[in-house]
Structures are given as C-alpha cells and as structure tokens.
Structure 1
Amino acid sequence: MRTPTSQQRPNPQRPQRPQNSKQRYEPTGPVMVPLESPSKRIRFVTFIFLVVMSLYMARLVELQVVRGPELAATAQNSRLQTLTLPALRGNFTDSDGVPIATTVMARNVTVDPKLITDPAGTAAALSPILGIPVETIVASLTVDSRFSYVAKRITPDTWKLVAELGIPGVFSEPTTNRVYPNGNLAASVIGYVGAEGTGLGGLEFGLNEQLMGQDGKLTVERVNGREIPASERQSIDPVNGLSVRLTIDSNLQAMLEKSLGDQVVATGAEGGVAVIMEPGTGNILAMATYPTFDPNNPFATDDKSKRNTAVTDVFEPGSTSKVMTMASVIEEGGANPGTQYTIENRISRGGTSFKDYVDHPTLRLTLAGVLAKSSNIGTILASESIGENKLYEYLQKFGIGQSTGMNFPGESGGKLPDINNENEWSATTFPTLAFGQGLSVNAVQATSVFATIANDGVRMLPRLIAGYSNNEGVYEPTTVNEGVRVVSPETAKTVREMLEGVVSEDGTAKNMQIPGYRVGGKTGTANRYDEATGGYSGYTSSFIGMAPAEKPALVMSVSIHNPKTSTYGSVVAGPVFKKVMTYALAHKKVPPSTTKPPKLPVEW
C-alpha cells in the first residue's frame, strides 16, 4: 500500500552512476582505504636498529678489545711523571775527615702556569718565603707552558713553608746543593761547581766524573699535578759519587792562607803562593794562594783569583834554585863545602857580564859561603866544575820542566830549555841556569826540590789525594810512590848543613831561626817575566826551608810576586815561613832538635 509520504530511499551502498558513461566519477563521501600488514614496518625498524647497534658494538670492540691496551697505556702515560732522584756529589775532606766540600738535599720550586688562576696573588704569597721579587715570580707564573721554575735549590725547610700554602699548581722536585762549610778554605785547591752542580774549577773539575755518581729515577701517577693516592711507583735508586780525602791539614791550611794573605797585603804585592809538604811521602799538607775566592759564591770573583796558581802559574825560582846546582856539584865530586872560590864583582860568560845581587869587593868564599851569601858568580864557578851536560841532567832528575804527577787541572810543568835545541840553548844559558834564571817552575815543583834534599836525596811525587770512599763508605787509600833517587844520602845531608848556614848569623836569612829547632833554607829574588810585555818586570821574592834540618819533617815554600816594600826573600817571604813553620812544628808535635848545627866555614 502506497502512501503520499512514503518515498523510496536511495541505497547508500550503491551510488548512482551517471547516465553518461563518459562522465568522471567523483565520490560524494568518505572512502575507506585498506592498509597493509604492520609486520613490514616492524621488520624495517628492527633492521635499522640492528645496523646502528652493530656499528656501536664494532666500535666498542675496537676500543675495548683491539685498542684497549694501547689506549689504557696512553691514558696512563698521560698521568705518569718521571722525576730524577739526584745522586749526592761526593765530599771533599781533609786528612782527618773534616768536610771541606759537601752536598746537601734541596728542592726546586716548579709550577704549572695553566693551573695558576691568580698569578699576582700567588706571587705575593711566595715572595716573602723565597726571597724573590714579586715581579720575577709573576714572570715565571705567566709563561705559555705547562712547566716553569720559580726557585732553585731552596732548603727543605723553605719548601715546607711553600707547601703549607697549598697553592694548586705549585710543586717541587728534588735536587742537591753544593756547600763549602769553611768558606774559602782551600778554595783554589777544591775549586767550585756551576749552577747545574758540575765542576768548573780545581779538583771539582778534575774529578768531576768520579764525584758525580749516577742519578736515580722515580715514576709516579699524577692528575692535575697531584699524585694519585695508592698509585704504583717505580724507582731506581741513585748511586752517590766517590768522596775524596785529601792530604790537606785544615788547621795548617787555614794558618797558611791567613799569613800569606796578610803578607801580600802588607807588602803591596800582586799575589803569592805557599806550600807545605811532607818530604817522606810527598803529601801536601797545605797549599795556599792569594788572592782567593769563596766557592759558595764563585762568580762574584774574577777568573784569575779562582786559579790554583801554585800549580798553574810558573816563575823563575832565582837563588832558591842554587840548591840543585850545589847538590849536583857535590854529588859529582866537583867541589865540597870547603872548596875555595875567589868572587870578583863581575864575571863574563858568553859575551855577557854577570854580577851578584849587590856590588861588592873581591870576596873569598867557600862553597858553603857561596850558598850562604847567595853569590851568583860563585855558583857559576862551581857549576863549571861539572859542565853544562851534567847540570842539565840533574835539573831533569829534580823534575824541572816536567809534570808534578798530581794531574791537577791546568797544571804547568814549567820550562827547562832543551840543551839540544840551538834556538833554546845559547852560550849564556848554562851560567844563567846555574843561579836560577832562564828556567821556570811552579810552587809545588820548587817545594819538591827541597823536599828531595830533606828526604835524603829521594824525590817523591807530590801527593794531594790520600784516598777515596765509595757509595757504601768503604775507604781505599791511594798508593804512595817509591820515589826516585836524585842524589846520595850523604850529598843530601851535606846540602842540608849548607842550608843551615843560610839561616845562621853568616847567611842571608838569619831571621828565619826557630827556637828549639835546627832550620835550613834558602832565600831567592828573581826577575819576573811579564807575558804582556815579553820582558822582565818586577820580582818574585821567595824563601824555602825545612825543619828540623837534621831530619826534616816539614818543608815549606813561600813566594810573593811583585812586592812593593822590599824584594829580599828573607824580608818579604821569610815572615810567613817563620810564623807558619813555628806553628806547624808544634801542631804536628815534631820533637825539638837535640843537636847543634855544624859550623861550616864561609870565608877563607
């Protein structure tokens, strides 16, 4: 049954198609699009994730397994710091073991400027402790580096004060400091070291390799400049250097230095040297030079004052050399103490006129008198009894022109003209050598000549080093050489008695007598060669003596260069000899003489 309001509804499932099949179809409502399965998306995302993770895993394996040890070592090495453990430089001691030069531990103050946040404040805190100006410290704190020195060789106590400040970036490293506790005592012998602790002069230089030892090492781990607690340490212990015991007696050395320096100043001289030797061993008990220096502050003194002029500088010995001529003549039988000579005021040899130090009328002297009065002419006449070849031979035996054997740095062996060289040996060389001109010696050589006569004619090599102590303190003495015979004991005894005549009332050095002891010696005044002008300028005044003369325990030489108050050896050098020898005989407890000196005839 159809009603008016009832209409037929279109079927929504079947949209009405246009009547014309050629017209475009456009939907008139929402369209449902069917989706693919979600499993494809999951597989894709999973694949990407696995690829990324495999890359991470590969990198992790490389870092942890393949390069792990290498990277760990690199990281550790960046934290490792190797410190030097300095070996202690060996000591110098005197013959009794008293320190003359020693080494103490010290610290260097270092800094990592990158860790310093307030350079001005840090410098202000450090300055009063270190005694360094603030501006100097600021300069050290602001360098473009990870390492800089602020101060070197401070004492451990000073470093303790710095450490208590707790300033980040301020550190220290161990080092050593060379100390000379007695100041300039034996300074020219010992020498000195430079800023890095290396020997630059004297025995410090000559024995540097033995003294240095072998530094050790300490490796620690640090982060930001601070050691990691409980980190592993690796160390190699240092081996300290050898210590050197000298033959020097500190008491005699101090006495000799003081007396020599006072006399050089008193006479207005250029300088002076003095040596005390033990004739039976060749041991040098004291060796003094003036001017000298303080090895604790060596660079405050000129280089010339730092030389050991007792071995580096040579001079013509003058009349002290006559002892060699007398010994040669007596040994060869050319004359004896009583042989008579007529001494004119002048004598001509090789076209040159020779004279004594002062003019005089004709003298009649014995050989003993020639030595006592120090006659050049008499010495020339005596030497002619053996000839130039024999005299030359004996001068060589006494060690003239040769090294002393001490191997001291910068030593000069002196000069003896070559008799076979016509450019060095002339008609006047022989007579000139006879009385001590035309040859040169250092102070140790000059002392050694008299020590040979004191030791009954046997020449001992001068000896300055008594022995060495190793790192463990074990002492080993050096060998005392057997010596070389130069003249017979009888000749040596005769010459000693003649030397006593020099110190007698008839000689040129009667003021050298020491109460209770027989003393023998010889004065000398020689022209001083000036290298700057190539000629003679000024004088060297000397006295060399021994006591007790009958059996000498000590031989001492004193030479003063270019004195202004006088040129006589007995006046210029003699007072040093008498003062120090008197002290030395008592200090060494040498028994007084029990016999009187023989009275040898001086004139005839």
Structure 2
Amino acid sequence: MPHDMISLRRIRYLVAISLVLIVAFAVRLVDVQAVRAAGYANRADSELAKKSIILAPRGAITDINGVEFARSVISYRILVDQAIVDYPKKLASLAAPILDMKESELLPLLIGDRRYVVINKSVKPAVWRNLEESIDSYNAAIMETENGFSKRLSGFFAERIYAREYPEGELGAAVVGFVNQEGSGAAGLEYSMNSTLAGVNGEYTYSNAGGTIIPGTQKITAEERKGNTIHLTIDRDIQWIAQEAIMKAVKKARALSGTVIVMDPATGEIIAHATYPSFTPGKTQGVDPYRWKNPSVQEVYEPGSTGKVVTFAAAMEEGKVEPETVLTVPYKLKRSIKVFKDHDPHPVLRLTLAGA
C-alpha cells in the first residue's frame, strides 16, 4: 500500500477522533452551563453561604416615670482568628493595653490554629473602635515606612452583642433581678418575666471565602424583634427613700435583714419595694445567693396583723361576722403543738372586729 494512502487514512482517523472529542466536550459544556447550571450554582452557593444570628435586645425595665432600672446596650465580643495572626508578639504588645490585659495573658490566645477564640466576652464600642483604629494606624505606618504588606497585623474581629446594664445599681435590685452570662433572666423580674423581656433573634446569610465574609453578600433573612419593655408602678424616688429607711432600720435593730413595701391604698399599686441587705445586679460574683431573693415574695413568714385584713374580708364575705361583732382575744392561743402569742402580754380582751 502506498505510503501516501496510509498517511491520509491516519489523518482521517485523527480528524474523526478529534471531532468526537469536540462533540463530547460540547455536550458536556452544554450540560454544565445550561442543563445543570442552576444545580451547580446552588451547590456552589451552598458551599459558600453561611448563616449567622442577629441578636435581639431585651426590653427595658422602668419605673412609673420611665426611669430605667435595666436596659440593653450595644457591646462587642472580641475574638481572634489564630490562623491569620502572623506577628503574635507585636499584636499582643499593641492590643493588650487597649483590652486592659497583660501581654503575657493575651499572647497565648493569639498563637495556634483555632479560627474562633474569645478574647473578651463584652467590651464597650469605644474599646473595639480604639483597637481597630490602632491596628489600622500601625498597618498604615508600616506600608509607608517599610512598604511591607506582609508585615501588617491582623487576626482580631468582633461580634456585636447586647450587654445588660442596671443604671440604678442596688436600687430595687431584689425586684428587678439580673440576667446570667447567656443573657437569660436569672432572678427577680428578669427571670419571672423572661419570655416578655426577651426578644426574638433574627438571621442573615453571607458568602464565606477562606473564613472571611465576602463584602456585599450579607442578606437578612429574618428581622430581629426587640423584647417588650416592662413599666413598673414603682416610683424611683420613693424607692430610694424606702431603701435608705430599711437599711437604717436593719442596722439600728441589728437584724439580719428587712423588707419594706409602700402601697397606694387607693389603687393597690406598689410604689416602693425595698430589701436590705441588697446587691448590685451585674456584679453578683461572690455574693451570697440568698441576697438575690426577694424575701417578701420568696420566703415563708408570719404576716402578723397585716394578715387580719385578708382573714376578716373572707369572714365578712361569707356573712359570718360584721364590723361590730365582738371577739374574744386572749394573749396566747394553742393550736395542735404550737402556741401563738401576741407581741406583748395582756389579759383576755373583748374587741369588736373593727377595733381588733
């Protein structure tokens, strides 16, 4: 067979194979870009897309005039991504004074390969702003003097959270209560009305590349809802007077504790409710948990003469007595194995219901 015919046949084979490959690639390209395009796009989005929570602030607790006993304020949780910290010693030297930490305390937290390390659970916005600006200034100076992009400091980031503040301190602490580290009510109204005060967190999605949020990809999928504010009938000024009075009375009597309640007799509204000893909400570490209680509603006690109103009201409602009904009042009365006594000894008295 002539050599030219063999070469021509080989060329035809190569052309045929090339055409088959081109058609195969074309079919695959159409499949990827048209037929399955949406599926691949969704898969890529799902691999990049992340979800995060938008924290909702708790409602405030105020007195009758709107003075706040408890409120939520914006705060920041300071974190570090150890994987992108290239110069831990320099970063610790710069950041430690701003975060009110020792360099020896901060440095170990900057070294490693963990992507999420909590440095400070809650700082004021000014602290985070100061840290950001200090790092930016340092990096700008490095670029100007040494043109060293690789020497830039990085690693810190922050999450916006809400911190609970108690502007009035000990005033009304037993009534107001406080929240725990997770932000849920732990005592007082903060605990008993937690579901009312707590907000509903929102949610947003974003695209993530190498642990960094891609700018412009954030999208809110559920708005957060702030918690409800609770308006008390307590008057802050009268509360302060009551607090001072019960403190002096307890100290004068050398008693273990004391509680005073001031009520509006026309409406039954509580306008002051003070307990001593008290505590400062938000600073409960090392405080005896007994102080967290509100004795007037959480302890069992003998009501004394104040209980007469309830007893007499029930008896009158049932038609058993009238205001003029005469009662025999001994000094002491034994019931079962318990002997009940009046505060001061006295002979058997004959008193009307109204006079008792």
TM-score bucket of the superposed structures, by smaller chain:
0.7 to 0.9
TM (norm. structure 1) is 0.49
Partner of 2:84: 115
Paired amino acid for 2:154: P
What displacement does 1:200 show? Answer: 1.0
Question: Percent of counterpart pairs with the same letter?
Answer: 31
Paired amino acid for 1:119: P
Partner of 2:39: 70
* Pair 1:335 & 2:304 matched: no
Paired amino acid for 2:122: R
Matches within 5 A, 1:27-426: 35-37=3-5, 38-142=7-111, 144-164=113-133, 165-166=135-136, 167-231=153-217, 233-318=219-304, 331=322, 333-335=324-326, 375=346, 377-378=347-348
- The 2-side partners of 1:66 and 1:153 are apart by 50
- The 1-side partners of 2:332 and 2:160 are apart by 72
Name the SS for the 1:97 alignment partner.
Answer: coil
Paired amino acid for 2:177: G
Contact 1:86/1:176, CA 8 A, preserved across alignment:
yes
Q: How many residue pairs were aligned?
A: 333
Name the SS for the 1:221 alignment partner.
Answer: strand
Contact 1:288/1:310, CA 8 A, preserved across alignment:
no
Partner of 1:594: none
Paired amino acid for 1:221: S
What displacement does 1:288 show? Answer: 1.1
TM (norm. structure 2) is 0.79
Structure 1: gaps spanning 5 or more residues: 1-32, 360-374, 384-490, 499-604
What displacement does 1:54 show? Answer: 4.3
Paired amino acid for 2:86: T
- The 2-side partners of 1:276 and 1:209 are apart by 27
Contact 1:94/1:100, CA 8 A, preserved across alignment:
yes
Gap change, CA 1:123 and 1:235, over 3 Å in 2: farther
Gap change, CA 1:139 and 1:332, over 3 Å in 2: same
Gap change, CA 1:353 and 1:125, over 3 Å in 2: closer
Gap change, CA 1:281 and 1:148, over 3 Å in 2: same
Name the SS for the 1:64 alignment partner.
Answer: helix
- The 2-side partners of 1:353 and 1:212 are apart by 48
Tell me which of the two structures has the higher relative contact order, counting C-alpha pairs closer than 8 angstroms and 6 or more residues apart: 2
Contact 1:97/1:245, CA 8 A, preserved across alignment:
yes
- The 2-side partners of 1:71 and 1:206 are apart by 50
What displacement does 1:187 show? Answer: 0.6
What displacement does 1:331 show? Answer: 2.7
Gap change, CA 1:74 and 1:160, over 3 Å in 2: farther
Gap change, CA 1:49 and 1:184, over 3 Å in 2: same
- The 2-side partners of 1:198 and 1:188 are apart by 16
Structure showing greater radius of gyration is 1
Name the SS for the 2:259 alignment partner.
Answer: strand
Gap change, CA 1:108 and 1:71, over 3 Å in 2: farther
What displacement does 1:44 show? Answer: 2.7
Gap change, CA 1:190 and 1:326, over 3 Å in 2: closer
- The 2-side partners of 1:346 and 1:210 are apart by 47
Gap change, CA 1:274 and 1:350, over 3 Å in 2: closer
Contact 2:204/2:218, CA 8 A, preserved across alignment:
no
Gap change, CA 1:356 and 1:254, over 3 Å in 2: closer
* CA displacement, residues 217-249 of structure 1 (integer Å, 9 cap, x when unaligned): 233334345544444633433211111110111
Gap change, CA 1:111 and 1:80, over 3 Å in 2: farther
Contact 1:271/1:290, CA 8 A, preserved across alignment:
yes
Q: Which moved further from structure 2: 286-295 or 153-162? A: 153-162
